Amino acid sequence: MKLKKRAFIPPLIILVAILLAVLASMAAKPPEKKQQQKPAVMVEVKEVKARDMTFLVDSQGSATPKYSTTLLAEVSGQIVDVADKYNAGSFFKKGETLLQIDPSDYKVAVQQARAQLLQAQAALEEEKARARVAEEEWSQFTEGEAPALGLRKPQLASALASLESAEANLAMAERNLERTTIRAPYDSVLRSKQADLGQFVGAGAQIATLYGTEVAEIRLPLSDLDVTYLNLPEESQTEPKVLLESQVSGVDTQWLGKLVRTEGVLDEASRVIYGVVQVEDPYNLNGQTHEEPLRFGRFVQAQVEGQQVTGVMEVPTYAINPDGTVWTVADERKLQKREIEVIRTQANTSIVSEGLEEGDLVVLTQLKNALNGMKVRLEGDPLPEQMETSAKNEDTVAANDNEQGE
């Protein structure tokens, strides 16, 4: 019996040990799983800086002459001579001859007028002599005041009038003779010609069209909003500078002009007001005024120098929310919403006068469901795992240093 009891005890002990081990394993707490922290959203930012700037107003237009004249024949006759350069595109100085109408008949008219003037002068002298004789005879044979007719005063007045008429006829004849020569009224380029050598023209017939080359003008359409950013010549003593640009033979070319006036009324069709820009010596006839001539008819882009502002900041327009706010990154990489005041938008940039301070980081990334205080990351910021690893490494290094110190 004792042997049987001893044989039964070891298996029982083993069974109890296994049972206790199972219970112990079931009672043990599973290792806590560390919750992985979700990384913050990375955003692109721009650091804003306060600056002074001058507004620029963009517009466009075509170069035209300030003066344009269609010459008319003031006398009739055949064109007997033209200038060698009497062709479209040629340049003429003020007073230079373009063409000559046959002057022979008008020279004869001048000679006739001179002869009539001499006759009138002689008739006047003769009448003066007769008047003196009449006055002497009256005083010798008659007492009292002599009548005007007796002193030949009417005849004297008639002779004087004839003289003045002859003088006027001579002046007219000389003027008509002078009008047979067609001259340029100012420095100009010949735009087109309507009469040529051998052609008979009547008084009032069109001869040629000239464009003045001293000044070019460009009409620029300006909206009401554009006008608010400009110092118009009518409102101040300044004439805003204007930069004109166009491509000449594939090369970007610039000219400098000035805004001299506005046309003063709104265009009924487009509801804009036109500003007029002037460019001196557009064809470089008085020297190398411009790098290239500004030819009439050329279409140009224009930038008008406007008002000056101080302490403003530039923000990309796409970074502004529909409600007129922007997101900024504040301390501890937290989002902060700012209300701003935009005073002008040009190209893709908005000019902000209020709501931001120099050095603010404006978020450029388009964020969905962004909230005030939400954390974000900037380029170069470490991920949370990297921060934890870095912290552990620092703790390990510190512990090792302490052990070595002991």
Structural domain boundaries in the chain: 45-50+320-377, 72-102+180-212, 103-178, 214-309
Which residues lie closer than 8 Å to 255 by C-beta, 6 or more apart? Answer: 243, 244, 245, 279, 282, 290, 294, 300
Query: Could you name the CATH architecture of 214-309?
Result: Beta Barrel (2.40)
Query: Could you name the CATH architecture of 45-50+320-377?
Result: Beta Barrel (2.40)
Mean pLDDT, rounded, of the chain: 85
Secondary structure class of 229 (helix, strand, coil): coil
Which residues lie closer than 8 Å to 107 by C-beta, 6 or more apart? Answer: 177
Least confident of 12-16, 119-123, 145-149, 243-247: 145-149
Looking up tokens 């934890």, which residue turns up? 388
Q: Average the pLDDT over 249-265 and give the result.
A: 93
Evaluate whether 72-102+180-212 and 214-309 have a shared fold.
Answer: no
CB 194 within 8 A of CB 245: no
The topology under which CATH files domain 72-102+180-212 is OB fold (Dihydrolipoamide Acetyltransferase, E2P) (2.40.50)
- DSSP assignment string, 263-288: EEEE-TTT--EEEEEEEESTT-TTS-
Give residue 158's pLDDT.
Answer: 86
Round to whole Å and give the CA distance between 342 and 356. Answer: 11
Q: Which two tokens stand for residue 89?
A: 């595109």
Which residues lie closer than 8 Å to 365 by C-beta, 6 or more apart? Answer: 41, 42, 43, 44
Query: What pTM, to 2 d.p., does this model score?
Result: 0.70
Q: Which among 250, 241, 196 is positioned nearest to 88, based on CA atoms?
A: 196
Looking up tokens 């820009």, which residue turns up? 277
- Number of Cβ within 10 Å of residue 129's Cβ equals 11
Q: How many residues does the chain have?
A: 406
Least confident of 62-71, 79-88, 304-313: 304-313
